[in-house]
């Protein structure tokens, strides 16, 4: 497992195919958009669906803050297209089938539940500013109310500075 990331460090390199099999790079947004990069365990599961729907419901508000929302799981592009189509999602979803992004961001972790250890994506969110720096690195987040909490952080980031 990679070490956990911390705020104020450079965001790790990002290159992955989205739901349309188009390669997306973090550098695509540099200087223009903040990026909310959220990692989730699996398409079309209860918590992941709630989180994706919440980000979709707030997509206009994120856009107004010059912020793009990108979800990442190990599901493939077709699974992402099906997930987006089923729920009318308005977020990009990256297919990290190799697990490289999960490793780079430290979200592929061994967890123990009921005495059984297994490796999985720990639900985590990274807020990356227009300069490519991590504003927040949030591990082990709860999907309930998470999108709204992230929006509040973004609003603080983009608020005009008082003279």
pLDDT at 26: 95
Give me the residue label for tokens 């987006």: 84
Q: What is the SS3 assignment for 88?
A: coil
pLDDT at 157: 80
Please tell us whether the domain made up of 15-157 is placed in CATH 3.30.70.920.
no
pLDDT at 2: 62
Over the chain (163 residues), what is each successive 10-residue block's mean pLDDT? 84 95 96 97 95 97 96 98 97 96 95 92 96 95 94 84 58
Q: Which residues are catalytic?
A: 48
121 with 40: CB under 8 angstroms? Answer: yes
DSSP string spanning 16-81? EEETTS-EEEGGGSTTT-EEEEEE-S-TTSHHHHHHHHHHHHTHHHHHHTTEEEEEEES--HHHHH
Give this prediction's pTM.
0.93
Distance CA 163, CA 152 (A): 22
pLDDT at 1: 53
Distance CA 99, CA 48 (A): 18
pLDDT at 161: 60
User: Interior CA angle at 131 toward 6 and 66, to 5°?
Assistant: 105
pLDDT at 127: 97
Q: Which residues pair with 139 in a beta bridge?
A: 124
């Amino acid at each position: 497992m990679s070490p956990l990331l911390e705020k104020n460090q450079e965001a790790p390199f990002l290159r992955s195919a989205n739901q349309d099999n188009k390669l997306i790079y973090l550098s695509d947004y540099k200087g223009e958009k903040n990026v909310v990069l959220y990692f989730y365990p699996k398409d079309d599961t209860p918590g992941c669906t709630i989180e994706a729907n919440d980000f979709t419901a707030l997509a206009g508000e994120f856009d107004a803050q010059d912020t793009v929302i990108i979800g990442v799981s190990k599901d493939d592009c077709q699974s992402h297209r099906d997930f987006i189509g089923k729920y009318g999602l308005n977020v990009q979803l990256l297919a990290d089938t190799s697990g490289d992004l999960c490793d780079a961001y430290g979200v592929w972790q061994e967890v123990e539940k009921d005495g059984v250890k297994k490796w999985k994506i720990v639900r985590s969110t990274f807020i990356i500013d227009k300069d490519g720096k991590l504003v927040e690195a949030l591990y082990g987040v709860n999907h309930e109310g998470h999108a709204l909490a992230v929006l509040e952080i973004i609003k603080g980031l983009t608020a005009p500075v008082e003279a």
